[in-house]
Every structure is written in C-alpha cells, then in structure tokens.
C-alpha cells in the first residue's frame, strides 16, 4: 500500500512538472513573437528600471530603439558595446540610450554601478528578431521587389515611401507618397481614408519600412505590404524609378 501511495505521488509530481514545462515552453514561444515596449513616432520605446533584473529585451530588426531608465538614487551607466550604445546617469537622473537594431542577433547589455547583477556584469540581453510574417503580434506581409511590382500592377496599392525628402528626390517608385517614418504616427490622419486599401511600404534597404508597417497596423490598416530590400533591391531588379 505504501509503495502504491509513493508511486502515485511521484506520478503526480512528474505530471505536474511536464505540464509546467510545457506551459513555460509555450510562453517562451509566444514571447519571441512580441517585441517589448511600444512604437512612438517610429521609435520603439522601452521603459526600464536599473534596480529591476531583466532577462531578454526583444525588438525587430530595422527598428530605432530608445531605452529609458527611470531615475535612481545613485549614479550608474549602461553599455551595449556591439551596438555602439552607451550612457551615464548621475544620481537622481534618468537615462536614455538609443541605438538602431540593424542586424539580427543577441547583444549583451552591461551595467556599471549599483546593478542587480553586480558592477560590470551583464544586465540584460537585447534580442533583435527578424519579422518572418508569421508573428501573431503584427499582420503585415513581407514582399520582394518583384512581388511588389506585381502588386502595383494588379491591385494599385497606395505606395508609401518612408525615407527622407532628400532620398525621395534622388529617386522613388512612381506614384509613391513621401511620409518619413519619424513623422508617420503624427501624420496618420492624412492617409486615414486608405485603411481598407492595399498599402505598399518601402524605404532604402528594408529597415525603416518595418516600424512604418507596424505603425500602420496599429492604426487599423489591414492590407499592409512591406517591401524587403527597399528601393535598393527594387533598383537591382532594374525596375522603374521616378525623379
């Protein structure tokens, strides 16, 4: 009888462990699809506290990122060497750290001062993810320049160029409208009537168009196409450009 009770207890513990592990795995899988913080004017803003331990911070490749550390009662500094981002805060002041997530990968963030992990130790990891089109958190679709050209011919989308005015003047896709990504959130009302129309978004190389597409999705646009490779990829395929 004792052996049976012991066996039953061990079985329950094992079953609970398996369920817990499955739940943790499922949570991790979902978590990888969701970038941290929020997009404001084309910049991903992530608010942090230097006194709170962090594991990973997730962002998408191509995003401009700003980490905002709240005020602390002591001086501290934060460094992300591989992303050329570094900043110092004196006692009682907040700290903003800016970088561009140009390439996918995992980047170490080191803290100096009174940090949870200790002075000079890794404070967190920045995980730069590639948007693969299957994420549950965003619903825009990636297209190649060739696919974009076919889309223009078949569906007559609104073409949105999110580069700078100077870049636009040097050459753009015919009939494209310029709204720099930094201005898009504030100027969304200018194109609000196009929410049900296909929108093709592009930039120079395919980086800035990702946060621009996210801004459109967030504001209710439901047929957003992000052109990978940007105008650079478009021109490599010898597709037409207007000036």
pLDDT tops 50 at residue 26? no
CATH no. of 38-129: 2.60.40.420
Kindly report, residue by residue over 117-144, the tens digit of the pLDDT: 788 888 899 999 887 655 555 578 999 9
What's the CA angle centered on 137, arms 135 and 139, to 5 degrees? 70
Q: What is the pLDDT of residue 164?
A: 95
Kindly report, residue by residue over 59-107, the tens digit of the pLDDT: 988 888 999 999 988 999 999 999 999 999 998 899 999 999 988 899 9
Pick the range with the lowest mean pLDDT from 3-7, 71-75, 199-203: 3-7
The length of the chain in residues reads: 243
The 3-class secondary structure across the chain, one letter per residue, is CHHHHHHHHHHHHHHHHHHHHHHHHHHHHHHCCCCCCEEECCEEEEEECCCCCCCEEEEECCCEEEEEECCCCCCEEEEEHHHCEEEEECCCCCEEEEEECCCCEEEEEEEEECCCCCCCEEEEEEEEECCCCCCCCCCCEEECHHHHHHHHHHHCCEEEECCCHHHHHHCECCCCEECCHHHHCCCHHHHHHHCCCCEEEECCCCCCHHHHHHHHHHCCCCCEEEECCHHHHHHHCCCCCEC
Q: Give every CB contact of residue 121 below 8 A, 6+ residues apart in sequence.
A: 110, 111, 115
211 neighbors 44 (Cβ within 8 angstroms): yes
Instruction: Work out the mean pLDDT of the chain and round it to a whole number.
Output: 84
Which one is predicted more confidently, 141 or 33?
141
Looking up tokens 């459109």, which residue turns up? 216
Mean pLDDT computed over 146-150: 96
- Report field, pTM of the whole predicted structure over 0.85: no
Percent of the chain with pLDDT over 90: 58
Which one is predicted more confidently, 131 or 146?
146
pLDDT tops 70 at residue 1? no
First-to-last alpha carbon distance for the chain, in angstroms, is 87
Catalytic site residue from 199, 203, 215, 216: 203
Q: What is the pLDDT of residue 134?
A: 53
Domain boundaries, the chain: 38-129, 141-236
Verify whether residue 203 is a known catalytic residue. yes
- The CATH class of the 141-236 domain is alpha beta
Percent of the chain with pLDDT over 70: 84
């Amino acid at each position: 009888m004792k052996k049976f009770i012991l066996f039953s207890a061990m079985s329950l513990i094992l079953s609970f462990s398996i369920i817990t592990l499955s739940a943790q795995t499922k949570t991790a899988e979902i978590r990888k699809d969701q970038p941290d913080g929020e997009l404001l004017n084309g910049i991903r803003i992530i608010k942090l506290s230097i006194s709170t331990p962090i594991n990973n911070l997730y962002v998408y490749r191509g995003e401009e990122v700003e980490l905002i550390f709240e005020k602390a009662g002591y001086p501290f500094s934060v460094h992300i060497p591989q992303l050329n981002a570094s900043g110092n805060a004196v006692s009682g002041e907040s700290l903003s750290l800016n970088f561009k997530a140009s390439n996918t990968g995992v980047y170490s963030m080191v803290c100096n001062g009174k940090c949870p992990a200790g002075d000079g130790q890794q404070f967190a990891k920045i995980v730069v993810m590639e948007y693969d089109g299957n994420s549950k958190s965003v619903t825009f679709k990636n297209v190649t320049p060739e696919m974009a050209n076919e889309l223009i011919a078949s569906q007559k989308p609104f073409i949105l160029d999110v580069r700078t005015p100077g870049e636009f003047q040097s050459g753009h896709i015919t009939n494209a409208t310029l709204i720099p990504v930094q201005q898009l959130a504030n100027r969304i009302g200018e194109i609000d009537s196009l929410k049900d129309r296909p929108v093709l978004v592009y930039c120079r190389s395919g980086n800035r168009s990702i946060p621009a597409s996210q801004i459109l999705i967030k504001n209710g646009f439901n047929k957003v196409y992000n052109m990978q490779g940007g105008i650079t990829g478009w021109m490599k395929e010898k597709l037409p450009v207007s000036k």
